[in-house]
Every structure is written in C-alpha cells, then in structure tokens.
Structure 1
Amino acid sequence: MVGTSPAQGSVLRTPGMLTAMAMAAAAFGGFALLLPVVPLVVSRAGGSDAVAGAVTATLMAATVLTQLVTARLLRRFGHRTVLAAGCVLLGLPSLALIWVATSAPAVLAVSAVRGVGFGLLTVASAALVAELVPAERLGRASGLQGIAIAATQMLGLPAGLALLDRFSVVPAILAGAAVPVLALAAIVRLPSLARPTAHSRHGAGLPWAAIAVPWAAVAAAALAYGAVASLLPIAVADAAAPAGLLLAAVSAAMLAGRYSAGVLSDRTGPGRVVWPALGVTAAGLLAFAVGVVVDAGAGQTSALILGAVAFGLGFGAVQNDSLVMIFTAAGPGRTGPASAAWNIGFDAGTGVGSLTLGVVAAVAGYPWLFVVAAVIVPVLPFAVLTVGGSRRAHR
C-alpha cells in the first residue's frame, strides 16, 4: 500500500487522503440529497409504502450487482476511471426525475442507473483508502472518510427534504444531480496507484469464514438503515420532530460512531466494538418505535431524537469496525474484493430493508417496522456466529 509510516505524521498528511475525503464528500453528498426525496415524491404521488420502499430497493439492487464486478473493473481501469464513471452515472441520470418523478416505473428505471454509479463509487472509494494508508492506520483512515461521508449526509439528507418542501422537486433533483459531478475535480488530483494484481481476481482467496460475522453485522445494521432513511420521513409526518432534523441527527451521530470505532480499532484491534455497537443500534430502533407512537400523539420529540442519536452512533461504529475486520481478514492485495464484500453487505441490507420493512409498515404499522428491525440487527450476526462455531466444533 502507498502511504506514510506511523512516524511520518497523521493520517491526514498521507498523500491523497484529503483528496479522497473531498471526493467521497461530494459523491455521497449527492446520493444523500435524493435518498429520502425520491421515495417521498412517489408516496405523495399516491404510491404505497411498499412502492416507496421499492425505489431504494431498486437502487440498491443495481448497486449490489455492480459491486460484484467492480473489483475486476478496478484491476482493468484503475481507481480514478472507475470513480469518475461512478460520479457521472450517479449524478447526471437524476435529471430525468424532473420529468418522470410521478411515474413509479420510470423512477425505478432511473434509480437502477444511479445504482450502477453508486456501486462503482462505494467499492472504489473504500478500496482507495485501504491502498493509501498503512494497515496499522486503516481504522482511523476509514473513520476519517466516514466523517467526510457522514458530514455531507448530515447536510444532504435534510437539505434535499428542505428543497422539496420549500420549493419543489426540481431544485432538489438539480442539486442531487450536480453535487456528485463536482467530485470529478477531486478525482483528477488523486495519486496514481498500482492496479490490483491478478492475486485479487474474482475475490479469490477471501476467507469467507472469517468475514461472515462482520459481513452479517453490517448487512443487518444496513437493513435497518434502509428503512430509517427511506421510511422515517413518512412515519413521522404527523410528529413534532421534523424528519430532516432526525435524519441530520442520525448522520451526525454516525460521524462520531465511525471515527470513535476507528480509533479503538487501531488501539485494540478490530472486532472489539461491533457487538456493543449492534446493541446500541437496536436500542435506537426501539426508541424510534416508542417515538412514533408517543411523540406523534403528545407532540414530544424526546424518544425520536434519542433514537436518532443512538441509532446513528451504533450504526456508524458497526460500519467502521466491520470494514476494518474484513480488510484485516482479507490481507494485502485483496482490497478490491474485500471492499466489494463489505459494500455488498451494506447495500444489499439497505435495499432489502427498505423493501421488506416497507411491507411490514404497510401491513402492521410503523412501530412494528422498527421493532422488527431492532430484533434483526443483533440476531442475524449472532446466528451467523453460532452456525460458524457449530461447524468448527463439528470439524
């Protein structure tokens, strides 16, 4: 990997690190602008909760399918080309939503194209950081990039909703289309990196037994995040707490959770944070369930705000620790496949969560949506851990 040794200064002085953070901020900021906006527009046009959830699910499905081949694309074209293609595909097709925002099939088609761009970005950006910094600083570096992403999400999620509510869908879509394209200015300044070698082809050699638990952890937490990002604005439409404020609180707490987990990971080794973080994530979801019932009826916001902070802290910590666990287990030379594995877990979870939990909301109501998510978050990785332990004991 390219980067400084521990004696050569902070992670931020690693060549290319600040540029990588600026690129991620713009690219993921544009994604955040439209993440809650598009499902809400579909809902206001008469679409059901299940259809609104399907918007994010379609985007994430295309994202995951793209992630399956992104490591191969990185090997062939390099980081800068793949990142640039991702920014363009995520941003420019969003302009079509100005004319088709009330047509569910058309929105789903645009979401699929944007998902291709997002899939390229997610894998290439995480792999880029793992190539820039030495392994002993990967936790902090991943946390810093997480700060860049969470900070723009903290601004982008409520900004998109504010543009939609104060003006119309057009300014929100224009912003969501333009911001990812701005990342191209940072991409051209990234240092040249050696392309992944044939050693990493198709994810060969990834120790799937070792990465199964962190993969399940990020997938379960992301499943809940898909519901929170896509359906929370609809769930709290009658509550005193504005949806934009709650989503901003989630993103701010994610920022703190990711970096704190990164510092702990570098000091104590990966894997020490993920289980407590899953518990905090589940507690936040239960607070959302209480808040949707109590706060909406009484005009109070305490449970919803508490839920946003707890969920964001836990989810941010799960993201960072699981990512470092997977990179560490994969070892050098496999950053592309390792990044793809983590991102597939994250984005598949997000898409499945927005769709399946949207169905739960339609059938049983929003409180049960968050209760079900709170159960899944710790149970899924624990089940994977238990099955893995049983197989090892049998052998």
Structure 2
Amino acid sequence: MTTMSLGITALPQRSPLVTRPLLLRFVSIVACSVGFFLPLAAVPLLADATSPVGGGVANGALLAATVAGELASPWLMQRVGVRVVLAAGLVLLGASTFVLLFSVSLPVLVSTGVLRGLGFALAIVAGGAVTAAIVPPDRRGEGLALAGLVSAVPSLLALPLGVTLSAVAGPGWVFAIAGAVPLLAVASVGGLPGRAAGAQTARVSSRTSGRSGASILAGLRSPELLRPALVFAASAAVAGVVVTCVPGALTGSASALAPALLLVQPAAAGLGRWLAGRYGDRLGHRRLFLPGIALSAAGMAAMAAAASAPLVLAGGVVFGLGFGALQNSTISAMYERADERQFATVSALWNAGYDGGMAAGAFAVSALAALVGPAVAFLALAVALPFVLTLVRRSASTTASTTRPTR
C-alpha cells in the first residue's frame, strides 16, 4: 500500500534556521553587547567623581553618537560594504575602550564615549542587516528573535557585572575585557556574507519595488518602513521611562523593588520577543502590533501605582511582554516589506527609533513628572500610547494582499 493511497500528505519542509553563518554572527552579537554594556554603568560612576554632571555628560555623548552613527551607517554600507562596516564598528568599539586604561578624566570619558557610540552603532546596524540576510525569509521572525535573545542575555548580565568587577578588581579590568572582546570578534566577520544574499527570494511589495534606495531619507519616505518604526519608538519611549523614571518614583513597600523590576522587565521582554518571532512568521507580524501596544500601555498604567509592590512587578512583566513582542514584530514587518538593498536602512531606522524613543520618553516624562507628579505622568503616557494604533490601522490596510498565509 503506497503513501498516496493512505491519503498522507508530506508536511512542507522548513528552511534550516541555525547555520554556520548565523553561528558566526552570534560571535559578533555577543562581543558587541559585552563591549558596549560592560562599561556602561561604570563610566558614569567615574565621571561623577570628576564633576557633578559628569555622568550625564558622558552618557549623553555616548547616546548622541550612537544615534548619529545609526543614521550614517546605510550610507557607509553602500560605499564600502557590510562586512567592512561591521568590522570597523567592532574595532572602533574595542580600541577606543582601551584608551580608558590610561586616563579617566572627564574629557577622555566623553571623547571615548563618542567613539564607542559610533562603533556600537556601526556594528549593530551592519550586523542587523547581515542577520536579516542570513536567516531564511520564511523563518525571519524566529531568526531575528533568536538573535535578539543572544544579544539580550550578555547585555543583561554585563551591566551589573561591570559595576561589580569595577568595585572588586578595579575599572581597569572592565575596560580591558570590554576592549578585547570586540577586537577578538573581528576574526568572525570574514565568514559572513559580504552582501545581502538571496535577493531573488526576498518579498518585495508593489509599493516598495520601485524605490529600493538604501538611505535614511528613502526609509522615511516609505510608509511601509516608517510606520512600524514609529510604533516601536512609541513603545521604546515607555521602556526609557521604566529604566530611568520608575525606579526613583517607587514608594512604600515597592521602594525596594527597583532591582527586581529591572530584572523581570527585560526577562519578560525576551519571552515576548521569542513568542512574537515564533508566531509572527505564521500569523503575520503586523497582527501583533495591537496586542503589543495594548500590553505596553497596560503595563505602564500598572506601574503608575508606585506604592503597590504587586502592581509594579505585574506591570513590569506585562510591559515587558508587550515591548518584546513589538521589538520583534516591528522589525520583522519592516524587513518583510523591504528588498535586501534596503536592509541597512531598516536596521538603521529601527535602531534609531529604539534609542531615540527611549531618550525622548525619559526626557518628556521626567519633565512632566516635575509638574504633575510621577503617577499622573506615567498614566498620561499609558493613555497616549494607544494612539499609535492609528498607524497600525493605516498600515494594515496596505498589507492584506501580501500577508503570509497561516501554515
């Protein structure tokens, strides 16, 4: 009796996800996270020792340079290639950190912060484009989620480890490790594709197929790329508030929960990102925008009850799930609508939305909290966040004809 006579239909083969190029890419992902985040908390402590505003100036210079580098990366990648930009970013990130072994004066901390920010920006934008090209299109959401987890774990561990290592063994060890790891990872770049591979399999919508310019301005003119980036930037604004404003606003029984909140929120975000990658490939990534925004708003509203320990922790978990879902669904939706010549633009727009959104949210809510109090400011942000759903509705009307069928 044959298989045909039994009526058994073979299941479609899924493309392999974890390949040698992706494993090589994981090397530069981990190195970039360690090089950037290990000194991130140690540097402001050293800067504050030299000036009352030193920490803010040093971190401000770092973040400003990061956003500037992200916006310039697509232009550089067009001219010298993705591998050159990725390698240059790793070298700049690592080599500039070694300077701190010789001096930690405020001018040196600020200038090396600028160089480190530029290096980090080049590495994450070029690396993001490489990752999107490596993973198969039918599993891109899952692949991006996996890469996000590989980045998140060392980032989460490096922050407290940098502070602890600096206190126990001295900041020199922090700078030596953070400088050496990115430089060692440069050796892995040669095994990565030098350009976006598999362009013939990329899904290109009729609206983007005639405009494949790989520049930030081209991305800003493309609604299919800009709207998901704005949706994510809105959620990133809440993340900036959670990291910057919420811990200092906790009162009563919740006042001791700041470390726990800063741990459960990114952990929940990692879970949300993985779930979004897993199911977004099957259901459509844009369908996850609405629940992601709703969870983000609900979590922020719960954290406004700054004196209630259960609500604060629950809010951190709920927001983390929504933020993680939007992290993966927005960038996956952007790559889905771009041809591979636009991958650098997608990576730059999304990362700039991440950093810019976090900075804008922290600044705006801090200013508002000074006028009306933290609880009211947090609730105002939670109420304002769902208004970005108008972007989702407008973009959803253009996706019906290209939504991937459920498998």
Normalising to structure 2: TM-score of the pair?
Answer: 0.77
Partner of 2:317: 309
Partner of 1:217 in structure 2?
A: 231
Q: 1:281 to 1:339 in 2, by over 3 A?
A: same
Distance 1:119 1:255, change over 3 A: same
Give 1:87's match in structure 2, choosing from 68, 90, 93: 90
Aligned to 2:299: 284
Q: 18, 31, 34: which one pairs with 1:12? A: 18
Residue 25 of structure 2 aligns to which amino acid in structure 1? A
Residue 329, structure 1, aligned to residue 337, structure 2? yes
Q: Using the alignment, how far apart are the partners of 1:86 and 1:358 within structure 2?
A: 32
Q: Which amino acid aligns with 2:191?
A: R
Asked if 1 retains the 8 angstrom alpha-carbon contact of 2:35 and 2:182, the reply is yes
Segments of structure 1 that go 5 or more residues without pairing to the other structure are 1-5, 296-301, 391-395
Match of 1:183 in 2: 185
Distance in 2 (CA, whole Å) between partners of 1:99 and 1:366 is 41
- The CA distance in 1 between the partners of 2:162 and 2:250, in whole Å, is 17
Change (3 A) 1:383 1:294: same
Q: Look up the SS of the partner of 1:330 in the other structure.
A: coil
Could you tell me the percent identity over the aligned residues?
A: 31
Question: What corresponds to 1:77 in structure 2?
Answer: 80
Change (3 A) 1:133 1:274: same
In structure 2, how many angstroms separate the alpha carbons of the residues matched to 1:389 and 1:270?
11
For each residue in 1:245-276, what CA deviation from the matched residue of structure 2 results, as whole angstroms up to 9, or x when unmatched? 43333332222111110111100112011221
Cα pair 1:155 1:248 within 8 Å, conserved: no
Distance 1:249 1:33, change over 3 A: farther
2:159 maps to a residue whose letter is: L
Alignment of 1:237-248 (within 5 A): 239-241=255-257, 243=259, 245-248=260-263
Report the residue type matching 1:241 in the other structure. L
Q: Between Structure 1 and Structure 2, whose CA radius of gyration is higher? A: 2
Question: Which of 137-146 and 229-238 deviates more?
Answer: 229-238
Matched residues, number: 372
C-alpha change, 1:254 and 1:45, in structure 2 (3 Å) is farther
Name the counterpart of 2:26. 21
Residue 36 (structure 1) shift: 4.1
Deviation per CA, 1:280-305, whole angstroms, max 9, x where unpaired?
A: 223333343334x345xxxxxx4443
Residue deviations 1:57-81 (CA, integer Å, cap 9, x gap): 4333222222222122222222222
Structure 2 stretches lacking a partner, 5+ long: 1-11, 200-210, 398-407
Q: 1:114 to 1:335 in 2, by over 3 A?
A: same
Q: Name the SS of the counterpart of 2:337 in structure 1.
A: helix
Equivalent position of 1:252 in the other structure: 267
Deviations 1:121-171 (A, max 9, x none): 221111111211232211111111111111112212332343355565444
Distance 1:383 1:36, change over 3 A: farther
Task: Please tell me the residue identity of whatever aligns with 2:35.
Answer: G
**8 A Cα contact 1:62 1:113, kept in partner:** yes
Q: 3-state SS of the aligned residue for 1:193?
A: coil
Could you say which residue in structure 2 is the equivalent of 1:393? none
1:1-395 → structure 2 map (5 Å cutoff): 7=13, 9-13=15-19, 15-39=20-44, 47=52, 55-97=58-100, 103=106, 107-164=109-166, 169-193=171-195, 199-202=212-215, 206=219, 208-230=222-244, 239-241=255-257, 243=259, 245-291=260-306, 293-295=307-309, 302-360=310-368, 367=375, 370-379=378-387, 381-382=388-389, 384=391
Q: TM-score, normalised by structure 1?
A: 0.79
Classify 1:29/1:113 alpha carbon distance in 2 versus 1 (closer, same or farther; 3 Å). Answer: same
C-alpha displacement of 1:195: 8.5
Q: Partner letter of residue 322 of structure 1?
A: T
Aligned counterpart, 1:299: none
* In structure 1, distance between residues paired with 2:373 and 2:185: 39
- Cα contact 1:31–1:90 (8 A) shared by 2: yes
Distance 2:175 2:384 in 1: 33
One-letter identity of the residue aligned with 1:282:
A
* C-alpha deviation, 1:172, in angstroms: 4.0
Higher relative contact order (CA 8 A, sep 6+): 1
* Bigger shift: residues 158-167 or 143-152: 158-167
Partner Cα distance (2:118, 2:243) in 1:
20
Change (3 A) 1:129 1:287: same
